[in-house]
């Protein structure tokens, strides 16, 4: 199959479901990254958000730098740094320093951001995020070409976002809800925009909510109800729908939760491997298995990483 496989998303959240002391979460992260490397995964991904009760990580490049010092081959990615919320010159300088410390192993993922509260708190209009994104990418594009151009990743599935990824020769990290036909359309859009801009298209990656168990039905019965609860809170509280929060638009919220649960890759090792194969056939060469959730204990996460590495990882990398 020849697919690169990584894991994510490390968010450093402390929730009612899984409360943590924040200093310990950050202190333990380098050791966790070292374990991921030892298991043979190609990369590990973090996420960025701010201004929420769970203390979601607002500065992922800092723990990336700490993990880089504890590892030697593992690539460390951000999915995503919210570029319109940053000074692009400062971000470019910081990312270059972190990449140097990581000896070229930083995978810088940048996205638009979508939460009004984050833009409001920073005194930035959400309506101008597309323009700020383009301005930021022009700054990041000035990075010397000896750095891998495909090591900058873009997220999103709207046509404008996909075309932006292609124009800048970036790699793409597609959202988990795209089906195989949606993946093919996204790949075609990115490739066409890259060629129109005289750029080589980057890699095509995808995040997939993933859970594996030797008993596939046990995996589904344990994981999917918890996944639904997780996204009901996250989507309902974060996304603005019809001028109000998701909890005031239950129909649309339920539809999004259904799409997320249906698109999750859950089952036995053979079932998960087969689903990843379908994704690869649609044009994806890099899969980020999201296994780290607030409803997963540290013990369960460790067991999942080992089982996934010992079964699915070996099969998809062959």
Cα–Cα distance, 52 to 210 (Å, whole number):
25
Each residue's pLDDT tens digit, 223-275:
999 999 999 888 877 765 445 554 567 788 888 899 999 999 999 999 999 99
* Residue 185 pLDDT exceeds 60: yes
Helix axes 269-281, 180-196, angle to 10 degrees: 40
**Under 8 Å between Cβ of 59 and 82:** no
Each residue's pLDDT tens digit, 188-203:
999 999 999 999 999 9
Each residue's pLDDT tens digit, 55-90:
999 999 999 999 999 999 999 999 999 999 999 999
CB neighbour class for 190 (10 Å; exposed up to 12, middle 13-18, buried from 19):
buried
Q: Which two tokens stand for residue 245?
A: 């929060």
Pick the range with the lowest mean pLDDT from 100-109, 116-125, 218-227: 116-125
What is the per-residue pLDDT for 310?
Answer: 97
What is the per-residue pLDDT for 239?
Answer: 62
Mean pLDDT of the chain, nearest integer: 92
Q: Quickly state the pLDDT bin for 131 (edges 50, 70, 90).
A: very high
Closest CA to 307 of 196, 210, 190: 210
The number of CA neighbours under 13 Å toward the Cβ of 115 is 16
* Residue 313 pLDDT exceeds 90: yes
pTM of the entire structure?
Answer: 0.95
Closest CA to 103 of 77, 81, 75: 75
More confident residue, 121 or 237: 121
Instruction: Please give the sequence-ordered ranges of beta strands (E in DSSP) within 219-273, or none if there are none.
Output: 240-241, 244-245, 265-267
Q: Quickly state the pLDDT bin for 117 (edges 50, 70, 90).
A: confident
Closest CA to 5 of 267, 262, 288, 219: 288
Each residue's pLDDT tens digit, 288-299:
999 999 999 999
Q: Which two tokens stand for residue 316?
A: 């998809």
């Amino acid at each position: 199959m020849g697919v690169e496989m990584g894991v994510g998303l490390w968010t450093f959240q402390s929730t009612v479901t899984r409360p943590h002391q924040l200093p310990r979460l950050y202190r333990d992260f380098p050791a966790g990254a070292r374990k991921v490397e030892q298991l043979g995964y190609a990369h590990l991904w973090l996420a960025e958000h701010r201004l929420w009760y769970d203390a979601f990580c607002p500065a992922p490049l800092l723990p990336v730098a700490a993990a880089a010092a504890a590892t030697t081959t593992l690539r460390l990615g951000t999915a995503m740094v919210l570029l319109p919320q940053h000074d692009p010159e400062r971000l470019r300088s910081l990312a270059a320093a972190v990449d140097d410390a990581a000896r070229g192993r930083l995978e810088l993922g940048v996205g638009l951001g979508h939460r009004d509260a984050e833009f409001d708190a920073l005194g930035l209009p959400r309506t101008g995020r597309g323009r700020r994104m383009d301005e930021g990418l022009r700054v990041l594009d000035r990075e010397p070409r000896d750095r891998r151009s495909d090591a900058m990743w873009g997220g999103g599935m709207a046509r404008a976002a996909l075309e932006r990824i292609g124009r800048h020769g970036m790699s793409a990290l597609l959202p988990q809800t795209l089906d195989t036909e949606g993946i093919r359309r996204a790949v075609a859009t990115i490739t066409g925009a890259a060629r129109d801009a005289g750029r080589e298209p980057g890699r095509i990656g995808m995040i997939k909510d993933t859970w594996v168990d030797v008993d596939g039905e046990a995996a589904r019965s344990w994981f999917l109800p918890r996944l639904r609860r997780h996204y009901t809170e996250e989507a309902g509280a974060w996304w603005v729908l019809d001028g109000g929060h998701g909890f005031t638009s239950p129909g649309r919220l339920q539809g999004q939760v259904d799409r997320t649960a249906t698109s999750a890759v859950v089952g036995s090792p053979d079932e998960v491997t087969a689903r990843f194969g379908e994704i690869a056939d649609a044009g994806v060469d890099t899969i980020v298995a999201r296994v780290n959730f607030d409803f997963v204990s540290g013990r369960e996460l460790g067991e999942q990483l080992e089982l996934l590495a010992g079964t699915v990882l070996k099969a998809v990398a062959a």
